[in-house]
Amino acid sequence: MALLQISEPGQTTAPHQRNYAAGIDLGTTNSLVAINRSGQVETLPDNDNNHLLPSVVHYAENDIIVGHAAQNLQAADPLNTLSSVKRIMGRGIEDVKSLGNVLPYEFDGNNDSAVPRIMTRQKSVSAIEVSAEILSVLSNRAEQTMGEALSGVVITVPAYFDDAQRQATRDAAKLADLNVYRLLNEPTAAAVAYGLDQQAEGMIAVYDLGGGTFDISILNLTRGVFEVLATGGNSSLGGDDMDHAIAEWLIEQAEIKAIDAKVIRNLLIASRKAKEDLTQQESTLIDLPQLGFSLTLDRTQFNHLVEDLVNKTLMSCRRALRDAKIEKEEINNVVMVGGSTRVPLVVDQVGKFFNCTPLTDLDPDRVVAIGAALQADVLAGNKPDQELLLLDVLPLSLCIETMGGLSEKIISRNTPIPVARAQEFTTFKDGQTAMAIHVVQGERELVSDCRSLAHFELRGIPPMTAGAARIKVTYQVDADGLMSVMAEELSSGVKADIVIKPSYGLTDGEIETMLRDSMSHAKEDIDARMRAEQQVEAQRVIEAIDSALTKDGHDLLNDNEFKAITVARNELEKVLQSATTEELKVAIKSIEVISEEYVAKRMNASVQKVLSGKNINEVEV
């Protein structure tokens, strides 16, 4: 006889329990939350049926307002109404200066924090705190809809976000009391939302132009597995820049002289409306009676204003294809993501570049949140029979500093993550009991040309002769792109580790500059590395000679021999910093030739010492 499982109304029985999870697109301009309900993924609206939540937070006297109501206060109270803070997520105080008037706020210069803090009437706040307010509203929306607390969320980030920016996003979620299953790259989420994992195998380009960030990702779909072959983009390029281009044109046309935060905000609001109007019509009237003018902007003029911005995105597309080692003719599908892809010029130029018709079937504003919700549902354990394998990649190489200021790559850029790589190193000096570990990020051969991520020390190494110790350094990057480093001396087991949580990220052009410089300076970097390696070798030879001469030089050498080796040693030290690579090789070879007889005498003395007092038959071989 079959037994029926019966539960009280509103309750579920154990076999049908479900973990409620959500996908959140934390955007520069707008944010969304999506859930998988009854097998259907949908973005969730507010009480006024608005799915998009403007990423705007207003700090009133005794309240914090988020979303549309905050957006309506931007013109009247711009200094206390914060938007586009995603642009300064994970950045340092000095970095925000490069943004100019893109963020017309007053920053707190009287705090000790490395994180920029924006002055408001309530208090100074960081981008992390502002983002936490947005995340709280979205998570509350999801919990009210589901009637249950969320077990976790997947939050999307631009593929080009570095360690600091990803960590700042996680910190914002923590402030909002959210359990983050994973940070998912926005382009990868979009591909999942389009169901491309269910289609034929092939190359996919995901072109994601949002309000404040641009990403291009080249994905290879093989048997339902997405592998991101290459990523590119600009973490400070998007629809906001189009608004600023229109605003600057308005200032020039209307000859506006008195410009303050309120004027800028009014101009930006009017510019954004004009941009949106021109996606559907050929011209629009920009009327600003408070500034005393009205102007007509047509699509041709608008295209001229934003053409350079669109071309910048195509330059990133070229670099991504080159990194992926494929031709654009190999791309099967181009997915358009982000509200700014509604601009007709963008769709037209991207179609021409890839020589195919871009996919625009899904709402570009919602597609990323939908993909995140699908992934969240899997990670929550609701689909144990379904595995969604997403292989994202590192945007820049992770390296370690070696002697001579050289950068040794441990994990190369565009390596799929999560990943762990280890490499063994050794000591440079006799009796060395500690080693300084310097973790850097970049593509250049010298540490001075890369970005420093962290310093820590491995102590307690047993004293040994130089080169005898075996120190294993392991770099690990998790699925969120966050990094940890461990160093271990293998004979003793002594360990040290660090989780890298940088307090600020790369500036706008730093990632692009790093990649460009690695190519344009390739030859001189190789030359510099070879010279530095010879300098390290010369220093090692000098220290070995000093140690040997101090120990038994006068016992094994006559005065002339001792003097000849000392002169060669001093000559090498004299030219150590100024000599070319070839001159250093010659100087090192000169010492080796002069010291050959001395080395033979030392070896003979060592053998005699071992055999002293023993019968030759007693010696083990």
Long-range interactions of 589-597: CB distance < 8 A, separation 24+: 591/541, 591/545, 591/565, 592/541, 594/564, 594/565, 594/568, 595/545, 595/565, 595/568, 597/561
**Residue for token digits 């206390």?**
80
Q: Are residues 400 and 171 in contact, defined by beta-carbon separation less than 8 angstroms?
A: no
Catalytic residue ranges: 25, 86, 186, 208
pLDDT at 534: 79
- CA pair distance 181, 480, nearest whole angstrom: 9
Residue range 538-579, pLDDT digits in tens = 777 888 888 888 888 778 888 888 888 888 888 888 887 777
Structural domain count of the chain: 3
Is the domain of 178 the same as that of 327?
A: yes
Nearest residue to 21 via CA among 383, 351, 279, 406: 383
Is the domain of 220 the same as that of 345?
A: yes
Is the domain of 442 the same as that of 470?
A: yes
CB atoms within 10 A of CB 281: 9
Is the domain of 408 the same as that of 382?
A: no
Q: Are residues 314 and 334 in contact, defined by beta-carbon separation less than 8 angstroms?
A: no
Q: Which amino acid is at 249?
A: W
- CA pair distance 153, 157, nearest whole angstrom: 13
Q: pLDDT band for position 14 (50/70/90)? A: very low
Please state which of the ranges 181-195, 287-301, 336-350, 412-426 shows the lowest mean pLDDT.
412-426
Q: Which two tokens stand for residue 341?
A: 């892809």
pLDDT at 99: 58
| DSSP-assigned beta bridge partners for residue 72 | none
Q: pLDDT band for position 4 (50/70/90)? A: very low
Is the domain of 334 the same as that of 473?
A: no
pLDDT at 5: 35
Residue range 139-197, pLDDT digits in tens = 999 999 888 889 999 999 887 777 778 888 988 998 898 999 888 888 788 888 887 75
Is the domain of 174 the same as that of 84?
A: yes
CB atoms within 10 A of CB 408: 15
Residue range 480-529, pLDDT digits in tens = 667 888 888 888 888 887 777 544 444 434 444 544 555 556 566 677 76
Q: Which residues in 186-328 belong to E strands, given as ranges? A: 202-209, 214-222, 225-234, 283-288, 293-298
Is the domain of 384 the same as that of 409?
A: no
- CA pair distance 273, 268, nearest whole angstrom: 9
Residue 556 in any domain: the answer is yes
Residue 154 in any domain: the answer is yes
pLDDT at 511: 45
Length of the chain: 621
Is the domain of 383 the same as that of 450?
A: no
- CA pair distance 118, 218, nearest whole angstrom: 36
Residue 262 in any domain: the answer is no
The residue from 349, 369, 392 where one domain ends is: 392
Q: pLDDT band for position 122 (50/70/90)? A: confident
Is the domain of 545 the same as that of 605?
A: yes
DSSP state of 446: B
Torsion sign, CA atoms 158, 163, 165, 166:
positive
Residue 299 in any domain: the answer is no
Residue 275 in any domain: the answer is no
Residue range 18-39, pLDDT digits in tens = 678 999 999 888 999 999 887 7
- Rg of the chain, C-alpha, whole Å: 31
The residue from 392, 415, 437 where one domain ends is: 392
> Residue 527 maps to which CATH number?
1.20.1270.10
Residue range 450-459, pLDDT digits in tens = 878 878 888 8
> Residue 183 maps to which CATH number?
3.30.420.40
- CA pair distance 614, 532, nearest whole angstrom: 47
Percentage of the residues of the chain whose pLDDT score is greater than 90: 23
Parent domain of 447? 394-520
- CA pair distance 472, 494, nearest whole angstrom: 11
Q: pLDDT band for position 9 (50/70/90)? A: very low
Is the domain of 384 the same as that of 408?
A: no
pLDDT at 465: 82
Long-range interactions of 563-566: CB distance < 8 A, separation 24+: 564/594, 565/591, 565/594, 565/595, 565/598
Q: State the average pLDDT for the chain.
A: 80
User: What DSSP letter does each residue of 19-52 carry, written as one string?
Assistant: --EEEEE--SSEEEEEEEETTEEEEPP-TTS---
Q: Are residues 12 and 109 in contact, defined by beta-carbon separation less than 8 angstroms?
A: no
Indicate the pTM of the whole model: 0.58
> Residue 466 maps to which CATH number?
2.60.34.10
pLDDT beyond 90 at 440 = no
Residue range 381-420, pLDDT digits in tens = 776 555 555 556 676 788 888 877 888 888 887 677 778 8
Between 239 and 615, residue with greater pLDDT = 239
Is the domain of 311 the same as that of 439?
A: no
pLDDT at 322: 92
Is the domain of 503 the same as that of 544?
A: no
All residues at 6 or more sequence positions from 486 whose CB lies less than 8 Å from its CB, including other chains: 473, 474, 476, 495, 496, 497
